[in-house]
Chain A
Amino acid sequence: MRTEEKIITRSRNRHKRLDAFQRILLLLVICLTTLLGSIIWTMPENPPGLADAVALMQEHSGVKSPVTAVLLNFRGYDTLLEVMVLLLAVIGAWSLAKAHFPQQEREANPVQMGVVRLLVPLMFLVAAYLVWQGSHLAGGAFQGGAILGAAGVLMLVTELPCLRAIPAHPLRIGLVLGPLIFVGVALFCLFLTGDLLGYPEETAGWLILLIEAGCAISIGLTLASLFAGGHPEDERPKNQEQAKGPCKGERP
């Protein structure tokens, strides 16, 4: 007990005082920040940019929001790779550890359960709405996916018993769904127009919505899986397919 206290106080002291190396580092960081700040200060007022060019091509993109047009149409290839980066994060995390769930099941607090039951369906609805409105206002796959991920995190911290029974394979399918749809649409466009992700102008809006819906689901699952912190229980596929669905409507 005493040694623990000692360690705690020592670490506190260490937080207060900086050694020589840290001081030099701090000084260097301050110098660098000042230098970069002064360079930004001297830059011209109205920087050149691509906003005008994007506005000019907006009507050919199939969506009304310039952000979505850039993300999914003009620079859709970037977004395809970004979605892969998110998937990679999950693969990396799964390769390192198994998801940790507490040994014995706890009876969830009724208030907490009430909040979860109230919020989670609402969050699903908001996520769907965000994906839908991405075509003309702020929103889209990443925002919708973030809300879905938050719903997943909420269920995880409530330690719903059904979550630990989620088999690996359906989860994998969910994680890969968005990237697969994205690649599929990209190749479909390649066959149609000769350009990867070169949407035909009249169907561009619908294809973008399809990609966004798939990616939102995958991004939501990605974030929740990262929070869970590792691969699910049954890595080897067995014949105990337990659907994810029933547990959400489960009543105590």
Chain B
Amino acid sequence: MTAFQLAAPAWMIVPIILPLIAGLFCFLFNRRIFAIALTAALANLLGVCILIYQLLFFGPMRCHMGGWQTPIGITLRTDGPALLMLLTTAITGLAVTLYARGYFSYRILNPRHAARHQQQQRYFWPLWMLLLTGLNGLFLSNDIFNLYVTLELIAISAASLAALSGKPASQLAAFRYLLVSLLGSLTYLLGVVFLYRSCGVLDLDLLQNLMQNAPGIRAALALMSIGLLLKTALFPLHFWLPPAHANALAPVSVILSALVVKGSFYLLFRFWFEVFTPIITTSALNFMGTLGAIAIVWGAIQAMRQPRLKLMVAYSTVSQLGYLFIAFPLTRIDGNIHIWGIVIFMAMAHACAKSAMFMVAGTVFLHLGHDRIKDLNGIRANLPITVFAYGIAGVSLMGLPPSGGFIAKWLLLSSALTSSQWWWALVIIVGSLLAMIYVFRVMSHFFVIPEDYAFTKPTPVSPLMEWPALALALISLLLGLAASWPLYILAQGNVVLAQIFPGGLP
């Protein structure tokens, strides 16, 4: 019974196999679906905690699927970045699960479309559980083809979820999303073919050792990067994101914006800074940084101009994703030391803050029946907790202390200045100011109660819709205060980082 010792690498399959089984059962059964999904989400969080415990006490691990060693078998591995992404996914996922329950219950209360909403809820749960399987598989996998399979799992479930609302606008957006996502997957697969033809192995560790500057490998890198950039929606490949995210159901927008784009970004980052590092050139890094800079400014300007809250939040995602790419050109001089820290921090803070914001947008939409920003006055009187959550999430998006967003931006700024690339620092500051404008534009409407405001007594919103948003917003805020803790996890198994911060503290 070696599988059940606490030190056994087989624990790694828990975050993959549990949501998978839950997804199957959610599809199979008609009743108690929420209980199944909630159990899976809780057990998933518990499993991730066990993995973190393992990492802290036994170091990074490899799990050979089926007992077959590389090169013929598939390997899963845990290390700091993978586990932090898993943890973010587990926490956000739990909050989304609760929120979705409140969201669907509220909508089913409305007798007019109860059947349709029941139908939506019926399919939401299996799709969401299988999406969670795909994401967890992606973060853990160490095999370049297995990663393709997880990307496929994510792409199909995400596109189906985006189409779930059934409105023509959302179906159109979801169809475009599906096509873009498939194009990305296939481009990635073509890259895998080139890489396998050149190196003859699929395991990331083995590939890392075989890396050389051959045309086939460079083509593979280019193809895989383009495929993943399409999925991550970096400017100018972001065109599909705002309509798909803004027209989906609120819990779906949360999942797509907070988790799905992070998955492909994580993969891209791992490829660039672990596997393909020897053949990455400075100009390529600068190119990525430039696209990121344009994305920050362009996304923020678009967000300021949007008349609707959900579209504003969706464009804000385009902008915030840019920060992740600004980190690329800052690595060369920095010697790759705390770049993982910056990027993971940014991703965590953004995942929590953005999911809180989309939850708020969804709650406001349900409450008022619209989300036109200029007509949002006085909502504070009816939804105080929701509005509070929006404010806190906004603090993290703007990057004010002590939020996680602040720490991430501070780390970015300091590495930009120490490596004397001040122009990136300028972009970061401008981006933060623009973020302030679009966040406050909504906030001013939220908090103003007009003179002649008629207090109505609408259907009370379920606490399940308000509290998860607030909890996530608070996590994104407190992440800045507990910054040493994620960095400590990152330091495990990362020799360079451990030398720089012996105690794990920056």
- What is A's interface to B at a CB cutoff of 8 Å? 35-36, 39-40, 42-43, 47-50, 53-54, 57, 70, 73-78, 81-82, 84-85, 87-89, 91-92, 94-96, 169, 172-173, 175-176, 179-180, 183, 186-187, 189-191, 193-199, 235-237
CB-nearest residue of chain B to A197 = B66
Q: Mark B106-130, 1 if CB is under 8 A from A, else 0.
A: 0000000000000110110011001
User: Which residues of the partner chain A approach B72 to less than 8 Å between Cβ atoms?
Assistant: 50, 53-54, 57, 70, 74-75
Contact count band on B: 35 or more
Q: What's the minimum C-beta distance from A240 to chain B, rounded to whole angstroms?
A: 15
Q: Is the CB of A36 within 8 A of B66?
A: no
Q: Is the CB of B199 within 8 A of A196?
A: no
User: Which residues of the partner chain B approach A76 to less than 8 Å between Cβ atoms?
Assistant: 65-66
A196 CA / B137 CA spacing, docked (Å): 14
CB-nearest residue of chain A to B199 = A48
Q: What's the minimum C-beta distance from A248 to chain B, rounded to whole angstroms?
A: 25
Q: Is the CB of A88 within 8 A of B149?
A: no
- Chain B binding site: helix, strand, loop or mixed by DSSP? helix
Q: Is the CB of B127 within 8 A of A84?
A: no
Q: What's the minimum C-beta distance from A238 to chain B, rounded to whole angstroms?
A: 11
With an 8 A cutoff between CB atoms, is B24 at the interface? yes
* 12 contacting pairs across A/B (C-beta < 8 A): A74-B68, A76-B65, A76-B66, A95-B120, A172-B27, A180-B24, A195-B64, A195-B66, A195-B67, A198-B65, A198-B67, A237-B30
A175 CA / B219 CA spacing, docked (Å): 39
Stretch of B156-164, B406-414, B459-467 that contacts chain A: B156-164
CB-nearest residue of chain B to A72 = B66
With A172-B27, A191-B3 as contacts: A88 and B130 at CB distance below 8 Å: yes
Q: Is the CB of B71 within 8 A of A91?
A: no
With an 8 A cutoff between CB atoms, is B402 at the interface? no
A49 CA / B215 CA spacing, docked (Å): 18
Q: What's the minimum C-beta distance from B169 to chain A, rounded to whole angstroms?
A: 15
Contact among B1, B153, B171 with A81 in the assembled complex (CB-CB below 8 Å): B153
CB-nearest residue of chain B to A173 = B28
Q: What's the minimum C-beta distance from B143 to chain A, rounded to whole angstroms?
A: 8
Q: Mark B9-35, 1 if CB is under 8 A from A, else 0.
A: 010010001001101100110100000
A251 CA / B392 CA spacing, docked (Å): 69
Q: What's the minimum C-beta distance from B450 to chain A, rounded to whole angstroms?
A: 41
Q: What's the minimum C-beta distance from A227 to chain B, rounded to whole angstroms?
A: 17
Q: Is the CB of B219 within 8 A of A91?
A: no
User: Which residues of the partner chain B approach A53 to less than 8 Å between Cβ atoms?
Assistant: 71-72
With an 8 A cutoff between CB atoms, is B216 at the interface? yes
User: Which residues of the partner chain A approach B23 to less than 8 Å between Cβ atoms?
Assistant: 84
Contact among B2, B71, B160, B199 with A194 in the assembled complex (CB-CB below 8 Å): B2
With A47-B200, A183-B21, A191-B3 as contacts: A94 and B74 at CB distance below 8 Å: no
Q: Is the CB of B10 within 8 A of A183?
A: no
User: Which residues of the partner chain B approach A36 to less than 8 Å between Cβ atoms?
Assistant: 190, 219
With A91-B27, A196-B10 as contacts: A81 and B146 at CB distance below 8 Å: yes
User: Which residues of the partner chain A approach B205 to less than 8 Å between Cβ atoms?
Assistant: none
A190 CA / B216 CA spacing, docked (Å): 39
User: Which residues of the partner chain A approach B506 to less than 8 Å between Cβ atoms?
Assistant: none
Q: Is the CB of B216 within 8 A of A43?
A: yes
Contact among B1, B67, B160, B215 with A95 in the assembled complex (CB-CB below 8 Å): B160
Contact among B71, B130, B194 with A84 in the assembled complex (CB-CB below 8 Å): B130
A138 CA / B416 CA spacing, docked (Å): 57
User: Which residues of the partner chain B approach A82 to less than 8 Å between Cβ atoms?
Assistant: 149, 152
B residues 23-73 touching A (CB-CB < 8 Å): 23-24, 27-28, 30, 64-68, 71-73
CB-nearest residue of chain B to A175 = B27
Closest 4 CB pairs of A and B: A48-B200, A92-B160, A95-B123, A198-B67
Q: What's the minimum C-beta distance from B33 to chain A, rounded to whole angstroms?
A: 13
Known: A78-B146, A89-B156. 17 other contacts (CB 8 A): A39-B194, A43-B216, A57-B72, A70-B72, A74-B68, A77-B74, A81-B133, A81-B149, A81-B153, A85-B153, A85-B156, A87-B130, A91-B127, A94-B123, A176-B27, A195-B65, A236-B30
A48 CA / B201 CA spacing, docked (Å): 8
Q: What's the minimum C-beta distance from B163 to chain A, rounded to whole angstroms?
A: 6
Q: Is the CB of A196 within 8 A of B13?
A: yes
A81 CA / B154 CA spacing, docked (Å): 11
Q: Is the CB of A95 within 8 A of B127?
A: yes
Q: Is the CB of B10 within 8 A of A50?
A: no
Q: What's the minimum C-beta distance from B329 to chain A, rounded to whole angstroms?
A: 26
User: Which residues of the partner chain A approach B478 to less than 8 Å between Cβ atoms?
Assistant: none
CB-nearest residue of chain A to B141 = A77
Contact among B1, B66, B126 with A196 in the assembled complex (CB-CB below 8 Å): B66
Q: What's the minimum C-beta distance from B374 to chain A, rounded to whole angstroms?
A: 34
Q: Is the CB of B3 within 8 A of A190?
A: yes
Q: What's the minimum C-beta distance from A164 to chain B, rounded to whole angstroms?
A: 19
With A92-B157, A199-B66 as contacts: A78 and B145 at CB distance below 8 Å: yes
Q: Is the CB of A49 within 8 A of B196?
A: yes
A50 CA / B123 CA spacing, docked (Å): 40
User: Which residues of the partner chain B approach A89 to less than 8 Å between Cβ atoms?
Assistant: 156
A211 CA / B201 CA spacing, docked (Å): 27
Q: What's the minimum C-beta distance from B289 to chain A, rounded to whole angstroms?
A: 24
A210 CA / B302 CA spacing, docked (Å): 55
A191 CA / B10 CA spacing, docked (Å): 11
Q: Is the CB of A96 within 8 A of B133?
A: no
User: Which residues of the partner chain A approach B1 to less than 8 Å between Cβ atoms?
Assistant: 191, 194
Q: What's the minimum C-beta distance from B104 to chain A, rounded to whole angstroms?
A: 14
Contact among A49, A54, A179 with B24 in the assembled complex (CB-CB below 8 Å): A179
Q: What's the minimum C-beta distance from B448 to chain A, rounded to whole angstroms?
A: 40
Q: Is the CB of A39 within 8 A of B216?
A: yes
CB-nearest residue of chain A to B127 = A91
Contact among A85, A198, A237 with B66 in the assembled complex (CB-CB below 8 Å): A198
Q: What's the minimum C-beta distance from A67 to chain B, rounded to whole angstroms?
A: 13
With an 8 A cutoff between CB atoms, is B150 at the interface? yes
Interface centre among A50, A89, A191 (most CB of B within 10 A): A50
Q: What's the minimum C-beta distance from A123 to chain B, rounded to whole angstroms?
A: 27
B residues 165-217 touching A (CB-CB < 8 Å): 166, 171, 190, 194, 196-202, 215-216
A183 CA / B19 CA spacing, docked (Å): 12
Contact among A47, A77, A92 with B65 in the assembled complex (CB-CB below 8 Å): A77
Interface centre among B13, B64, B134 (most CB of A within 10 A): B13
User: Which residues of the partner chain A approach B215 to less than 8 Å between Cβ atoms?
Assistant: 39, 42-43
CB-nearest residue of chain B to A191 = B3
A75 CA / B73 CA spacing, docked (Å): 6
Contact among B74, B145, B150, B153 with A88 in the assembled complex (CB-CB below 8 Å): B153
A91 CA / B200 CA spacing, docked (Å): 36
Q: Is the CB of A92 within 8 A of B149?
A: no
User: Which residues of the partner chain A approach B436 to less than 8 Å between Cβ atoms?
Assistant: none
